[in-house]
Amino acid sequence: MKILFYDTKSYDKESFEAKAKDYPDIQIEYLKSELVPSTAKLAKGYDAICAFVSSDVGTETIDVLSACGVKLILMRCAGFNNVDVEKATACGIKVMRVPGYSPEAVAEHAMALALAATRRIHKAYVRVRENDFSLGGMQGVNFYRKTAGIVGTGKIGAAMARICHGFGMNVIAYDKYQNPALDFVKYVSLDELLAQSDLISLHCPLMDETYHMINRESIRKMKDGVILVNTSRGGLVKTEDLIEGIRARKFFAVGLDVYEEEKKNVFEDRSDEIMETSVTARLLSFPNVIITSHQGFFTYEALDAISETTLNNAMAFTKGERTGNEVEIE
């Protein structure tokens, strides 16, 4: 099988090359170019392409991939909201993903964001480097005996729930499907979670029903001084309403690893650019907000798991086997 990788970073190539020697039937070529309709034509002659969460795997791109003879789209990530699965299915192209590469990596990053934003670690780091050891504006809050609200208790949400429980927090959750392994969690309605939580952490997929679930109305239902963390998908939060809530001092702290504007920012160095109309720049202007560049997954263990699962998916496809990692129309 010949696979063309798009939007390849040095760490992607290093991780996959280390695993590829165990898969002699797979040939991989790496491109730095992102996957968009105009670059999809480069896949001619390949059996599969490998894309990421920031790739454009929409209708037009899939049309080009289909014309090139591609039969498999390998997503080296859990999310697939950027993939037109219906179009791919109609074109006879299978879509496979990596659903659980390292839920603990993302959950640990979520807690890191919550702690760093709440205890103003980002401000302290800058101050001390300038020999400023004052404590003004640095006061935080305890998590112990506070209430953590987990929205979505799949693998990542469950890992975050366990972390919060370990901090001595009361853990409540909202999910259509309760996780029986979380016997210490009390499931409540979304409105109850919003009203009761001191820390709200989002771990649900981005779908029509969850798009902008954090908006002016839902923010109004939250406690004053709430802490919000999002390591799931940027579209879960309506950014303009979040900014309005921050300005109204509704939030004690906000930690974001994903955000609506990230597509053109994620994994790119834009330090020499002026982002004149950027909502991201506006968010970064607030002292109680921390933003990271979609790095929740980014650990050695997670990259190793992503590489292995992606290559296993490719091999299973060639053998006509199912892995449970197929993305299919419900």
Residues 95, 244 within the same domain: no
**What are the counts of helices (DSSP H) followed by strands (DSSP E) for the chain?**
12, 13
Sequence-distant (6+) residues with CB within 8 A of 99 are 78, 155, 324, 325
Residues 191, 157 within the same domain: yes
Q: What is the mean pLDDT of residues 293-322?
A: 95
Report the CATH number that the domain containing residue 25 is assigned in CATH: 3.40.50.720
Model confidence pLDDT, tens digit, residues 172-198: 999 999 999 999 999 999 999 999 999
Residues 215, 140 within the same domain: yes
Strand partners, 318: none
Sequence-distant (6+) residues with CB within 8 A of 63 are 37, 87, 91
Residues 270, 140 within the same domain: yes
Residue with the bigger pLDDT between 28 and 281: it is 28
Q: What's the pLDDT score for residue 266?
A: 66
Residues 159, 221 within the same domain: yes
In which element (H, E) is residue 127 found?
A: helix 121-129
Sequence-distant (6+) residues with CB within 8 A of 116 are 122, 255, 290
Residues 136, 168 within the same domain: yes
Residues 310 and 48: their CA atoms lie apart, in Å, by 11
Residues 202, 237 within the same domain: yes
Residues 181, 57 within the same domain: no
Residues 246 and 125: their CA atoms lie apart, in Å, by 22
- At residue 147, φ and ψ (nearest 5 deg) are -105, 125
Residues 278, 178 within the same domain: yes
Residue 114 CA: distances (Å) to CA of 62, 163, 218, 252: 38, 12, 20, 10
Range of the domain at 317: 2-101+299-327
From the list 62, 112, 54, 119, the residue with the least C-alpha distance to 85 is: 62
Quick check: 101 pLDDT over 90?
A: no
Model confidence pLDDT, tens digit, residues 259-289: 987 766 666 777 787 766 678 888 989 999 9
Q: What is the mean pLDDT of residues 131-146?
A: 96
Residues 173, 259 within the same domain: yes
Antiparallel, parallel or unpaired: β 94-96 and 326-327: antiparallel
Predicted TM-score (pTM) of the model is: 0.87
Residues 73, 141 within the same domain: no
Residues 232 and 228: their CA atoms lie apart, in Å, by 12
Q: Known catalytic residues? A: 233, 262, 294
Q: What's the pLDDT score for residue 197?
A: 98
The per-residue pLDDT of the chain, averaged, comes to 94
Strand partners, 237: 214
From the list 11, 4, 59, 62, the residue with the least C-alpha distance to 33 is: 4
If one counts the domains in the chain, the total is: 2
Residues 275, 323 within the same domain: no
